[in-house]
Amino acid sequence: MTIHGTGPSVTSGEVRERLALHGHRMPAAWQVPQAPGTRIPASLVRRVGDRLYVSGHIPTSEEGVVTGPYGKVGEELDLLGAQQAAIRTLLSLLASVERAAGDLAAVRAWCSLHCMVNSAPGFTDFPAVFNPASRLLVDVFGEEIGGHARVAVGVAGLPWNLPVEIEAEVELHPA
């Protein structure tokens, strides 16, 4: 049995270096505007004790702006395009976790990812869409911190007709 979250910390600088080795850059954190007429402030991350509950994220550009590709996987978008969107979504998650935690060295363990695919009828290879994103998380943080439980499901639609969405639960080192 492996106990996760007991390995050494990985700083934000180290994460950026490791992402660069894989050809990626962490984007600016995504800012969700508050919907007009609502009293509920937009929040992407909720901290409860040493846990971060990270709301569903979608693909963003390096500037933190929602970006395509758009469409259903298995119809307008093929598996490779969906995998690339999933990686960009994971990068957006990293930026939000960094903003909430101050530094990614605060992350003790990536507990779980809940992954959703905007799926065309007949497309069922949901895990394959997120395998590269999960692998990148482990490559960047190491197995002890980056290893995580995951669910990947197909849904009838996602916001703005985007192909993927990922939410996460992260454990932080005790304050």
CA distance 54 to 60: 15
Comparing C-alpha atoms, which of 103, 21, 95, 19 is closest to residue 59? Answer: 95
Owner of token pair 């990536």: 110
Averaged over 83-102, what is the pLDDT?
A: 97
Copy the structure tokens of residue 80: 């490779």
2 pLDDT tier (thresholds 50, 70, 90): very low
Q: In terms of CATH, what superfamily is 12-26+44-172?
A: RutC-like (3.30.1330.40)
Assign 32 to helix, strand or coil.
Answer: coil
Pair type for strands 149-155 and 107-118: parallel
Q: Quick one: what percent of the chain has pLDDT higher than 70?
A: 90
Contact 158, 118 (CB under 8 A): yes
The predicted model scores a pTM of 0.92
Average pLDDT over residues 92-96: 96
